Structure 1
Amino acid sequence: MKIRFTLLFTFICTTFIFAQENKQDNTTIDNLISNLYGVISGEKGEARDWDAFNNLYYQNARLIPSGKNKDGITGARYMTPQDYIDGSGKWLVENGFHEIEISREVQQFGTVAHVFSTYEAKKSKSDTEPFMRGINSIQLLNDGTRWWILNIYWTQESEENPIPEKYLPK
């Protein structure tokens, strides 16, 4: 009986400590956005924490990249967080990827927030120049306890669509 109690107590303590160590603080918009960029970023060969990634999103959230297809037609593609993991997760690890926020505008009314977040992407932290830049339009919900991502809708910068100065660092 004593051994069972000791094993059960050890299991409960270990589970609690593990849960606390892996718990993200998404109680502020700043923390949520930092966690978003942090969880997908890493050096080549570095695994991503997909449980932490999934913990950012409210039920039925969508990730929506937009841009031109091979025929030059602009459109959007709707993905669940799992679709993103399945489609991009392996590439992120094999190539290295760091998405870095360089500018942000936030609009908030009560439990609703919109974050317009300009980013640049590098394959390694040591890279001096980004290989890509763009803007994430992030819609958020606060459930009274924390912030959740409802949608991320983004597009990459291109020669014909440069990022306007007002969305770049000042």
Structure 2
Amino acid sequence: MKRSILLSLALFLYTSGIKGQDVAYMDKVDSIDNLIETLYGVISGEKNEARDWELFRFLFTPEAKLIPSVKNKEGVYEVRYMTPENYSEAAGKWLMENGFYEKEIFRKTETFGNITHIFSTYESYKSKLDTAPFMRGINSIQLLDDGERWWIVNIYWTQETENNPIPKSYLPQ
């Protein structure tokens, strides 16, 4: 009986195109909480600690974008569009050289059908031993539930500044 179940599972995985690594990651995307925890966890680490960029890419739809909103030299907000691969290439070296921990401190979630929008307030640290963040901001995260798992469609974010503080409604009470 066990052998029959294992063979059936192996056949399903083979015919559905799911790779072995993907199966190992499915518990990371089976709920919104697991997906968001994995998102923050996979980019976080001490100096010289490798990040799991394969797992990072697994969280996103094929056409997903990461979209930072920053001020240019003239003080005007602009956006930059990156794929998960672009992000890992652009940020990977800096994360390794500097250490970086990002943690969610507040979340507001809105869901309609298979789509979910999250405003996720974060704090960033250079080490998990740090007591004060060097940066805070809000991630606007769009998710898709395809019936099998959760996917990140986009992450659009901006950092808190003196002139743009995080509203109290997006901070822990």
Gaps of 5+ in 1: 1-15
**Deviation, structure 1 residue 19:** 6.2
- In the superposition, relative to structure 1, how do residues 140 and 21 fare at CA in structure 2: closer, same or farther (>3 Å)? closer
Identity %: 61
**Deviation, structure 1 residue 107:** 0.3
Query: 1:5-37 CA distances to partner (integer Å, 9 max, x unpaired)?
Result: xxxxxxxxxxx9876555542111001000000
Residue of structure 1 aligned with 2:104, choices 101, 104, 122: 101
Amino acid of the structure 1 residue aligned with 2:98: N
Q: What is residue 124 of structure 1 aligned with on the other side?
A: 127
Gaps of 5+ in 2: 1-18
Q: How does 1:1-170 map to 2 (within 5 A)?
A: 21=24, 23-170=26-173
TM-score (norm: length of structure 1): 0.87
Q: Is the 8 A contact 1:24 1:52 kept in 2?
A: no
CA distance in structure 2 between the aligned counterparts of 1:168 and 1:69, rounded to whole angstroms:
27
- SS of structure 1 residue aligned to 2:91: helix
Q: Is the 8 A contact 2:22 2:58 kept in 1?
A: no
CA distance in structure 2 between the aligned counterparts of 1:126 and 1:133, rounded to whole angstroms:
17
Amino acid of the structure 2 residue aligned with 1:54: R
TM-score (norm: length of structure 2): 0.85
**Deviation, structure 1 residue 86:** 0.9
CA distance in structure 1 between the aligned counterparts of 2:62 and 2:21, rounded to whole angstroms:
24
Runs of 4 or more consecutive aligned structure 1 residues displaced over 2 Å after TM superposition? 16-25
Q: Is the 8 A contact 2:26 2:149 kept in 1?
A: no
CA distance in structure 2 between the aligned counterparts of 1:67 and 1:126, rounded to whole angstroms:
28
Structure number with greater Rg is 1
